[in-house]
Amino acid sequence: MIPSVNLADFLSGDPEKKRKFVDALGKAYSEIGFVAVKGHLLEDDVSQKLYWQCQEFFALTDAQKQAYEIPGLAGQRGYTSFGKEHAKGRNEGDLKEFWHFGQQVKGDDPIKSEYPENVLVNELPEFNEFGLKAYKQLEETGKYMLRAIALFLGLEETYFDEKIHHGNSILRPIHYPPITSEPKSAVRAAEHEDINLITLLMGASAEGLQVLTKQNEWVGITALPDQLVVNVGDMLQRLTNNVLKSTTHRVVNPPKEKWNTSRYSIPFFLHPRSEMRLDCLPECISEENPIEYSPISAGDYLIERLKEIGLK
């Protein structure tokens, strides 16, 4: 079991409950990098409707879906077809197809020019509606998770706020189709670490997610229906000079008797603005923990990593 925390404690206005939340979160992220979160801001109704709409979208014909696979976008928005993405260091494509919803920039923030417009599915207006609603609610939840992380690191509570305002975050509905023949070596998603600051995962429709513990053992993770699983990504690990751990995880193929089942999963990858610096924080550098990473911006780091996984 991964540690569980309740975000309502952090938001309660009670200093003691808030402190305990920050301590529990920091401990979990220092040790395993994953935590289950209750009391988050994603509404049940939005979550359920988005799952239904995902099933409707991925059930469209290949021709219908491929109409939303936009050349030249490196998969940043819209549809990415089966087997295109692979884990870093692998050539075999993961057994999945997916969709990307991205940031909607309000007002005259010049960062708007960096982002492609969201692609909207004509056949399923509610897919667009509930995708964008879930995006905003998960982004807001992530903001408070990062506030707690900032306090744990000894930073000012709102340290991350302006760095993630109109950040390059992505909501990714994923479909792992039924397995029709003996897989060669590909699993549904090979072992990897996430690129971003933190990932917020809505409960998946089937088991299969596993994390690698410090003891080098793979452990299965299942989120309860009312929980999000929230993990540290490589950007946050880099920023904190390995004080917070970006844990290796994977999605394994189901047992043979369940090969005929689909798996749906909807992670929200919380990214900062491209200009955010990922240079190791002075608070996280010491004699015992010397500096591990060279300075880089979030935008340059993202481009480097997208090339490694075959999306750019």
Q: What does the pLDDT look like over 79-121, one tens digit per residue?
A: 998 866 555 555 555 678 999 999 999 889 999 999 999 999 9
Run of H or E residues at 199 = strand 198-202
Hey, what are 284's tokens? Answer: 């996280």
| Residue 66 one-letter amino acid | Q
Q: Which amino acid is at 220?
A: G
Which contacts qualify for 74-80: CB closer than 8 Å, 24 or more apart? Answer: 74/306, 74/311, 74/312, 75/100, 75/311, 76/100, 76/102, 76/115, 76/116, 76/170, 77/101, 77/102, 77/116, 77/117, 77/118, 77/119, 78/119, 79/119, 80/311
Query: What is the DSSP-derived secondary structure letter of residue 201?
Result: E
Tell me whether residue 213 is exposed, middle or buried, using C-beta atoms within 10 angstroms of its C-beta: 0 to 12, 13 to 18, 19 or more.
middle
Q: Is the pLDDT of residue 145 over 90?
A: yes
Domain ranges of the chain: 4-308
Query: What are the tens digits of pLDDT across the range 239-295?
Result: 999 999 898 888 887 778 878 888 888 999 999 999 999 999 999 999 999 999 999
CATH (residue range 4-308): 2.60.120.330
Q: What is the pLDDT of residue 184?
A: 64
Residues 189, 191, 196, 202, CA torsion sign:
positive
CA angle 200, 195, 242 (to 5 degrees): 95
> Would the pTM of this model clear 0.75, i.e. be above it?
yes
